[in-house]
Structure 1
């Protein structure tokens, strides 16, 4: 899978270095130190260790233990001051004179913190000034414990040697902004910078909107969403053509007649000397869409302040499930395709967990299916003596299996005497099986090499950290053989992966329908959704279709996303098929037991979490909220509709924010009907009324029988299915024979 967030040119690094030189010599102006300010103010940033990837507090154990986090600096910024607000606790057993905690920046000791016994065992906070000249484009912040508990002989891994570093500790950076050149070769800079770990917020400016303009904007938003990845991306909208007071923006519009055709151009933001405007222009809607496609598919080849697109050949049609971010299902996928070689290394006794992210098509059918085969290959350093070392294999932080790391002596006992001395890491290959439900949609494989430490006796425990482990990049996972079939509607699949719309990575089978005059926030929700789709697939939405009003609902050959706020009368043709409707003060909701039993649980049988409609609630209220509702398209069987509706334009913001999620959201979008009010997500119904995908005849029959006879064992189901098919075949044969006999008698 392609990692869109890591693409940049060496020239950009040189450019950042030249800009830093300019700052040091006073030729570039900046803002004063204000670390808590927003990026738009150009003053500084504040990031916690948790935001930098530390999911849990750092646990430092042993005489010499360390852990750290990585942070980057945007290409249009230079750090002038840096400080770390550190929260930590340490063991009461540490000897103050011999122990301390080091703070290292890029492997240079920035500070050594004493560990006085009087403060041991208490949570403490310290502010450490970090040398700004040590901060580079990519940085590592590391915390190291040097610990001793006795003046005599000591166990280097004694349980009393510990320190705990809070992952709520914060890094504060004061920066000076840099004026970057107007050059398309820098794209996606400065509009998106992979070094910036915060959510991307990029305004989109329109001087007017029609279907073609919104299709072009959807292409660009999905491209930025793919680049932003886990960070998320939102796109505030302006329809008056006015540029933002600060920062960057993307502007869409028709260009003067003298313009040669589809055009991309970068120019300074007239309201902010540090901001840039990316203009996407064309003489008509078709040229505007062509410029957007050229930007999203060919930005690496662009150069200069302006590019007139003279040719863009028609794209080859996408195939279902070929999204770059999704795991392939037509062949085994090697781990080396998913992560870098460095990620697969595990050096030392206290090595970090090896993490391999997976993104599966959300409609792989795992009900009563065999587990996923995995060809696991790993290498490790065999230890001397008899030890109990282990390779732990977890999936999504849940234990699955362990593998022994045999020592030299244990290998010799098993007849490998000729290999009692190994000059290289010992290769091991084992087959592994993982239940498909443990890998649904978004997953992470986790491997941790746990090396045992042999105690040699008093005053003989000298720890030489010479062990190494590695997951071989030739290891693979094989998803072949699983059918694509998913009971619908499933808003969890929509929220997590954009399914079923992202089944085609370019959204060529997706139609987005607005009311006749969409509100600004309706368009912002659409762009946020396109960013989410791009994040899921890793591909821009180059073929999405947009329409307005009732005529847009006639997209019979497409799956539909309907975005509306305020008056809902134009959706009347959906009738009672819609599980909820917001029309000003009038509101209607289907409800079920799901509101009492909503769970974040993946099951191979979706019927386990089904909660059909129990009641129909209608009321009038001046309050406003937003809904996500899924149902089958009334135009064509098997096609899907997701309605994103709000009582007014302001409430539509709740829907966009819920799509991005984040801190403060306790519940997830799931089921077939969800109500959102501010940060409260309330699933109301989970009812499956249709399905997308297909099953083989026997599998389909078994699934159908299980709906009415759920207690039937799988083998008996198969037998019943086979018997039923034989019975049907016999009836067809008898019918054919009877017809033949009648023809003979008639003759």
Structure 2
């Protein structure tokens, strides 16, 4: 089944789950700073009138009963108290107007404003409007004394009550995941019996789907056997055709792949999504149907009749990744409203880019950006421009000529066409050397304000700037080739496993008797991969060590806690770190002294080979990640995640999800994790993934090997000398013959 493939589901004659009585849940309260709501800097409001805002949302299963905002702000001592104020607006409705008395000017103020709860809906905008005047006479609307500053430590507090939701599959992914909730997703997965490979593959499909939905929030999936959570939501997997119970919740027999939504018997507001079937294959069908076509479901329960075969995915076609086989329109990456601005000094427009990890940018000038834009030409201006930045690095300043510079002619009227905006184009290159995989393309229109003189300066909000959605960014000249292992790209994008968006070339090797910690780590890793690709892992395979030989043509993700993974012994010679009970063995290099937050296209620059090793004993063993080439087939990769204790795997997954500074040190080929402390020890790259054209590969190979370059040059000289010698011999014979 593809995303558009037909999916057949029917309501069962009898619901497979008998609901238990539930109790009501109390209300909750939330407090978020403006920084947590996305305002990474304090609001600086300038001029006679200025506005800045943040967005906040309310979960679909909650209603706001009380709200307040506690503002920390300061303002100019030059303001006139009778004419100046800060207005607090929610969804464009005024909640309060704060006076700006002169005696409090220049000092940090704190005021709490009550917000009428009836003004708050599901999607909301909190706006702070500054109105300032410094004289009763004619004034400069952009005078430097007209300012107010709102700290991003100001807080928004909401008191909410829960709303009981119906057991209706049409609401999915609600209430298990609510995109209005910006907090990290924590969704327990419950298995009615010890799961086998197919059941875990079904669970991986759903965890990667929820991970893709959670996106920047991050997602964790605590696993448990037979125990329902005391509070909140969960996904329950039940395999078998007979009636059973899970923590007292009766599950009736099923006739095929079934999805059912019921209330959590332990929590009145919690929901349980029950994925059931006669065997693991049924669970995979149900999970795949939900991940790819769940929006078609309705009612409390459905039975999946069939799923058409999935169309094979192609390498690098992940929905979240920037296409590298064609020019991509900026309209595919951002909404049209996000590419429009107004005013003399509008905010910055940002287009998020997620680059494929293995773009070979050696000696590449950059990705071509064909920019189309429109703007309102001013009658007269000197410094108006469009600034283009890439990851906060300046790329180009494009002049925005005024009507005076363009000339008042018929050609200008033709360019303006039917409105007052002028369409222009520009071409530039974006250097991809040493850029983050999650990058930002930034545009900012800067309009020059020309003062007209005393009592004639009035700001009219008629300036507009638009980045045309048909502007394109082209990566198609880049090839895919990368030195491995590289745990930095594994953290950032799940590479090389996410090369196929559905993980159809990935096998996960679990311990023979995986515990809850192993299963939780597996599910959370799959969720992280889903966040990277934006697609569920419908092709992943889950096997044990005794089946690893059958996975030779796949990339391998191996998990181990304690001594429960046989591959710890079988591949001992390949591991730069080992742990047995309290004994630890690791190799070391000088990588910790030279960490960077970027990867150089020169592979030699990235190398930090092991220089020493040591063994030590510790009461609380560390967890480690290491990467190496698969011993089963060259060109295939292995990432080994191991810990001396089961809880250590959670430290690794937390580091992979973390955006904190210390987590950025996760790079190289060997990383040790102790709690929140991450340390990269070795960076050895001894194999490559991807491919280059013959000529390109020859150029790169010779640049990396001086001896080969000298030999190639010598052979070239000998060849030319031989050709010259033969040519002279032929010419001499001709002369002698004459």
Using the size of structure 2 for normalisation, the TM-score is 0.89
In the TM superposition, 1:622-633 aligns within 5 A as 622-633=619-630
Q: Distance in 1 between matches of 2:719 and 2:191?
A: 61
Following superposition, the deviation at residue 721 of structure 1 comes to 6.8
Match of 1:164 among 149, 158, 165: 149
SS at match of 1:657: helix
Quote the residue 2:356 is aligned against. 361
Aligned to 2:545: 549
Question: Which position in structure 1 is the counterpart of 2:167?
Answer: 182
Paired position in structure 2 for 1:331: 326
Match for 1:531 among 518, 527, 531? 527
1:372 matched residue in structure 2: 367
Task: Say whether the 8 Å CA contact 1:698–1:721 is kept in structure 2.
Answer: no
For residue 452 of structure 2, what is the aligned residue in structure 1?
Answer: 456
Kindly report which structure 2 residues correspond to 1:270-289, keeping only aligned pairs within 5 A, or say none. Answer: 270-289=265-284
Query: Residue 161 of structure 1: CA displacement?
Result: 1.4
- Is it true that 1:192 corresponds to 2:171 in the alignment? no
Quote how far apart the aligned CAs of 1:441 are: 1.9
Is structure 2 residue 465 aligned with structure 1 residue 469?
yes
How do 1:100-499 residues align onto structure 2 when only pairs under 5 Å count? 100-207=85-192, 208-239=194-225, 241-257=226-242, 258-412=253-407, 423-437=419-433, 440-499=436-495
What is the root-mean-square deviation in Å for CA atoms of aligned residues?
2.4
**CA apart distance, 1:569:** 5.7
Q: Does the 8 A contact of 2:211 with 2:527 survive in 1?
A: yes
- For residue 689 of structure 1, the aligned residue among 661, 686, 691 is 686
Instruction: Give the CA deviation at 1:546.
Output: 0.7
Map of 1:582 onto structure 2: 579
State the Cα distance separating 1:519 from its structure 2 match.
2.2
**Distance (Å, rounded) in 1 between the aligned partners of 2:628 and 2:29:** 46
- Measure, in 1, the Cα distance between the counterparts of 2:416 and 2:650: 65
Kindly tell me: are residues 729 and 505 of structure 1, through their superposed partners in 2, closer, same or farther at Cα, counting changes over 3 Å?
farther
**Aligned counterparts of 2:263 and 2:206: Cα–Cα separation in 1:** 20
Q: Measured at CA, do residues 720 and 322 of structure 1 come closer, stay the same or move farther in structure 2, by a change above 3 Å?
A: farther
Report what 1:57 is aligned to.
Answer: 42
* Other-structure match for 1:739: none
Secondary structure of the residue aligned to 2:307 is coil
Q: 1:727 to 1:176 in 2, by over 3 A?
A: farther
* Unaligned runs of at least 5 residues, structure 1: 4-27, 33-42, 732-747
Partner SS, residue 564 of structure 1: strand
C-alpha distance in structure 2 between counterparts of 1:725 and 1:317, whole Å: 46
From the superposition, tell whether residues 727 and 478 of structure 1 become closer, same or farther in structure 2 (CA, over 3 Å): farther
Contiguous gaps of at least 5 residues in structure 2:
4-22, 243-252, 723-738
1:93 is paired with a residue whose SS is coil
Residues 285, 419 of structure 1: CA spacing in aligned structure 2 closer, same or farther, 3 A cutoff?
A: closer
CA distance in 2, matches of 1:492, 1:689: 16
Pair 1:346–1:606, CA change in 2 (3 A): farther
Give the secondary structure class of the aligned counterpart of 1:113.
strand
User: How many Å separate the matches in 2 of 1:569 and 1:511?
Assistant: 16
Alignment partner, residue 520 of structure 1? 516
Question: 1:571 and 2:553 equivalent?
Answer: no
Deviation by residue 1:624-669 (Cα, 9 ceiling, x = unmatched): 2211111111111010010111110122210111111035746332
Partners of 1:477 and 1:332 in 2: CA distance = 5
Displacement after TM superposition at 1:521 (Å): 1.3
Alignment check: 8 A CA contact 1:360 1:439 kept: no
**Are 2:653 and 1:656 aligned?**
yes
SS in 2 for 1:681: strand
Deviation at 1:724, TM superposition (A): 6.2
Alignment of 1:27-106 (within 5 A): 31-32=26-27, 43-106=28-91
Please state whether the residue corresponding to 1:290 is helix, strand or coil: helix
Shift of 1:727: 7.9
Q: CA deviation at 1:587?
A: 1.1
CA distance in 2, matches of 1:728, 1:125: 82
- Give yes or no for contact 2:434–2:598 (8 Å, CA) kept in 1: no
- Taking the aligned partners of 2:276 and 2:234, their CA distance within structure 1 comes to 14
More moved, 211-220 vs 552-561: 552-561
| Alpha-carbon shift at residue 73 of structure 1 (Å) | 1.0
**Aligned-residue offset at 1:557:** 1.1
Alpha carbons of 1:106 and 1:729: their partners in 2 closer, same or farther (altered >3 Å)?
A: farther
Give the secondary-structure state (helix, strand or coil) at the position aligned to 1:528.
helix
Q: Which runs of 4+ in 1 moved over 4 A?
A: 413-422, 719-731
| Cα distance in 2 for residues equivalent to 1:245 and 1:725 | 75
Tell me what 2:595 maps to: 598
Answer yes or no: is the 8 Å Cα contact 1:30–1:175 preserved in 2.
no
Q: Helix, strand or coil for the counterpart of 2:444?
A: strand
Write out per-residue CA displacement over residues 82-118 of structure 1, whole angstroms, 9 at most, x where no aligned residue.
1112222222222222211111100111111222233
**Partners of 1:388 and 1:215 in 2: how far apart?**
59
Alpha-carbon deviation of 1:268? 0.6
Q: In 1, Cα distance between the equivalents of 2:149 and 2:479?
A: 47
Cα deviation per residue 1:260-295 (whole Å; 9 max; x = unaligned)? Answer: 111000001011111100001111111111111111
**2: CA distance, partners of 1:418 / 1:259:** 71
Residues of 2 paired with 1:362 and 1:324: CA distance?
14
TM-aligned CA deviation for residue 226 of structure 1? 0.7
Q: CA deviation at 1:125?
A: 2.2
Partner of 2:726: none
Number of aligned residue pairs: give it: 688
Of 396-405 and 528-537, deviating more is: 396-405
**How big is each residue's C-alpha offset from its partner over 1:549-568, in whole Å with a ceiling of 9 and x where there is no partner?**
34336521110111111116
* Structure 1 position 414, deviation (Å): 10
Equivalent-residue separation in structure 2 for 1:500 and 1:189 (angstroms): 32
**1:418 deviation in Å?**
5.3
CA distance in 2, matches of 1:413, 1:94: 42
- Preserved contact between residue 24 and residue 269 of structure 2 (Cα < 8 Å): no
How far residue 705 of structure 1 moved from its aligned partner, in angstroms, is: 2.1
**In structure 2, what is the equivalent of residue 644 of structure 1?**
641
With over 3 angstroms needed to count, the CA separation of the structure-2 counterparts of 1:192 and 1:591, relative to structure 1, is same
> What's the TM-score, normalizing by structure 1?
0.88
Once the two structures are TM-superposed, the CA of residue 517 in structure 1 deviates from its matched residue by 1.4
- Shift in CA distance, 441/721, structure 1 to aligned 2, threshold 3 Å: farther
Residue by residue over 1:417-439, the C-alpha shift from the partner in whole angstroms, topping out at 9 and shown as x without a partner, is: 65698732100011111112265
